[in-house]
Structure 1
Amino acid sequence: MPSTLHLGESGEQARILPDEHDDGWVLEIGGAIQSHVDLADPTRIRYEYLRRMATVLDACRPAGQPIRVLHLGAGALTLPRYVQARRPGSAQTVVDLDRELPSFVLSALPLPEGTDLTVLIGDAREELENLAGQRFDAVVLDIYTGMDAARHLTGRDFYAELLQALTGDGVLLVNIGDDAGLHFLGQQARALESACAAAGLSGAWTLADSTLLEQAQAGNIVLAAGGALAVPDPEALRSTLLAAGPHPAAVLDPVQTAALAARR
């Protein structure tokens, strides 16, 4: 397999390398490690924010029940591998801007047998528009997000479009990467709260390392929203998500998320 690939869209070099710390593999883009994959155990997720996303998916449907998932951002397909392992028969769609990346990853790190995965190449928002009319049990936005992110992939209107792509009891998961101070998180949490209000939903949940939130440190935070989280007992859901970790964990319900956003 090729160990290095030039990505035409981003201009970066992509490499797949054995992990230095275990038997897994890592995808490196532009010199930075982006993803970790354990082919022997796809349910083992190293990165905390992805682990928190997986926890929400686990909490939103009975164990083993297949779901339809739209992944905006491919990476090394860590989360699609997890979904297939935990929910065989799930139908998954992945969108990535770099044409060469998915085939590069799949040739080096094959998916589990039986995986139903459709790969679309293009801009996430444009491909979402092309999928209009389709509904997903989960939509995962895991594209670089930060103050200098592509503006059309952030904000109230885009989040409204993502929520519209969900089934009535679906869940939207957004990876927010932010700098110290978490000002971008506050901005995007308010935008998602506004989109939720327009859609008749209660608001956004926040999942993160508790120390990161308490000290407003740089890092990755997950925002979650959708009908799947509109449960009769939000505190019970919060307790379930907290217990699942990884620890130290913080899980904020929509009221707590709004309060956090107001401080940022």
Structure 2
Amino acid sequence: MTRAVDFGTAKLMPDTDRPRAWLLTVEGAPQSYVDLDAPAHLEFEYARRIAHVLDTAAASAESARAGAGPDVLHLGGGALSLPRHVAATRPGARQTVVEADRALLRLVTEHLPLPPDSGIELHAADARAWLESAPPAACDLLVADVFGGSRVPSHLTSVEYARAAARVLRPGGVYTANLADAAPFGFLRSQLATLGTVFEHLCLIAEPAVLRGRRFGNTILAASREELPVAELARRCAADPFPARVEHGGALARLTAGAAVVRDGETAPSPVPPEGAFSIG
């Protein structure tokens, strides 16, 4: 199924091995994989790594609030694979999804509907505009997985954006972002420097081949004003089918050294992936 959406051409392609599973691409770049019969399943490795951050942070939030489910804000929706996963694994969670592509939201909700009791609210809006109008301390977890095609939009890369994200998080809340880059990591290093001016604690999750500069790929950044559970994250990521490393502390400081903080007026989107890096078909 192919349909024009607000920011390109979207395709929903069935998985022949799973009767109710679908892959969503936009402009040829894979965006989401959803199995309606197994909503907790995450096909993409980067999504599994975000889920590890969410799961450890949600457990802390629930502990702090006597078992109450976490409030999660997702910037970027795709086919809603991460919100579906959270709803399946933490039924008490309250989730808000902000997706700028209204036509994409219609396509997804029409063909891959959410369960009526999912606890997921959908909003068609620009991610930064939503953040700047949202009440402070409104969520425990914030996931930024926003791509225009295969690039992070430039207005979501500045220190002003980072401050807006931090404002909506509760004390101890965790921000996590999906970023894509390759050596020499100009974009990634600038994002680490930028987020580091707002959040005291950072860690980076990526496959060793990406960190060694052998290929372009996704990296997951987690940030908080309180210490992150890096040991638990490292254990979970090392046990994945495609293991990843968790960099923090001195290793992350060395990677970030000399990188400039990005401010509004100086922003640029993430780099164009090499041909074939993410595209399908």
Post-superposition offset of 1:37: 0.6
Is residue 44 of structure 2 the alignment partner of residue 41 of structure 1?
no
In the alignment, the residues of structure 2 paired with residue 193 and residue 118 of structure 1 have an alpha-carbon distance, to the nearest angstrom, of 30
Alignment of 1:163-178 (within 5 A): 163-178=166-181
- Following superposition, the deviation at residue 22 of structure 1 comes to 4.1
Tell me the amino acid that sits aligned with residue 182 of structure 1: F
Distance 1:114 1:147 in 2: 32
**How many Å separate the matches in 2 of 1:65 and 1:241?**
24
Q: Give a deviation string over 1:51-104, Cα, whole Å, max 9, x none.
A: 101011111233886211111101000000000001002111111111111121
Aligned runs of 1:18-37 on 2, under 5 Å? 18-20=14-16, 22-23=18-19, 24-37=21-34
Q: What runs of 5+ residues in structure 2 fail to find an aligned partner? A: 260-281
User: How far apart are the structure 1 equivalents of 2:215 and 2:159?
Assistant: 24
**2:144 equivalent in structure 1:** 141
Query: For residues 160 and 260 of structure 1, do their structure 2 counterparts lie closer, same or farther at Cα, with a shift above 3 Å needed?
Result: same
1:100-152 CA deviation, whole Å, 9 max, x = no partner? 11121011112234111211112111111121335111111101289964322
Query: What is the one-letter code of the residue matched to 1:214?
Result: R
Match of residue 223 from structure 1:
221
Worse overlay, 83-92 or 56-65:
56-65
Q: Taking every aligned residue pair, what percent have the same amino acid on both sides?
A: 36
Q: CA RMSD in A?
A: 2.5
Alpha-carbon distance change, 230 to 20 in structure 1, aligned in 2, over 3 angstroms = same
Question: Counterpart in 1 of 2:257?
Answer: 262
Q: Give the paired residue count.
A: 252
Pick the aligned partner of 2:191 from 184, 188, 199: 188
Q: Could you say if the C-alpha distance between residues 84 and 133 of structure 1 is closer, same or farther in structure 2, counting changes exceeding 3 Å?
A: same
Query: CA shift at 1:218, angstroms?
Result: 0.6
Q: Is the 8 A contact 1:147 1:184 kept in 2?
A: no
Distance 1:239 1:30, change over 3 A: closer
Q: Once the 2 structures are TM-superposed, how far is the Cα of residue 205 of structure 1 from its aligned partner?
A: 0.6
Q: Relative to 1, partners in 2 of residues 1:182 and 1:263: Cα closer, same or farther, differing over 3 Å?
A: same
Any conservation in 2 of the 1:193–1:204 contact (CA below 8 Å)?
A: yes
Q: TM-score, normalised by structure 2?
A: 0.81
8 Å contact kept, 1:42–1:81: yes
| 1:237 counterpart residue number | 232
Which residue, out of 45, 51, 54, partners 1:54? 51
- SS of the aligned residue for 2:257 comes to helix
The whole-number CA distance in structure 2 between the counterparts of 1:224 and 1:145 is: 21
Q: 2:163 aligns with which of 160, 165, 177?
A: 160
Q: Deviations over 1:154-188 (max 9, x none)?
A: 12221121112111121101110114432211111
Picking from 91, 94, 109, the partner of 1:91 is 94
**2:11 is aligned with 1:15:** yes
AA in 2 matched with 1:42: P
- SS state of the match for residue 197, structure 2? helix
Residues 65 and 87 in structure 1, CA contact (< 8 A), matched pair in contact too: no
Q: 1:147 to 1:18 in 2, by over 3 A?
A: closer
Q: Kindly provide the amino acid, as one letter, of the partner of residue 237 in structure 1.
A: E
- How far 1:4 moved relative to its partner? 3.0
Query: What do the CA deviations read for 1:207-232 (whole angstroms, capped 9, x no partner)?
Result: 111221023521110100114x515x
Q: Which structure ranks higher in relative contact order (CA pairs < 8 Å, sequence separation ≥ 6)?
A: 2
TM score, norm. by length of structure 1: 0.86
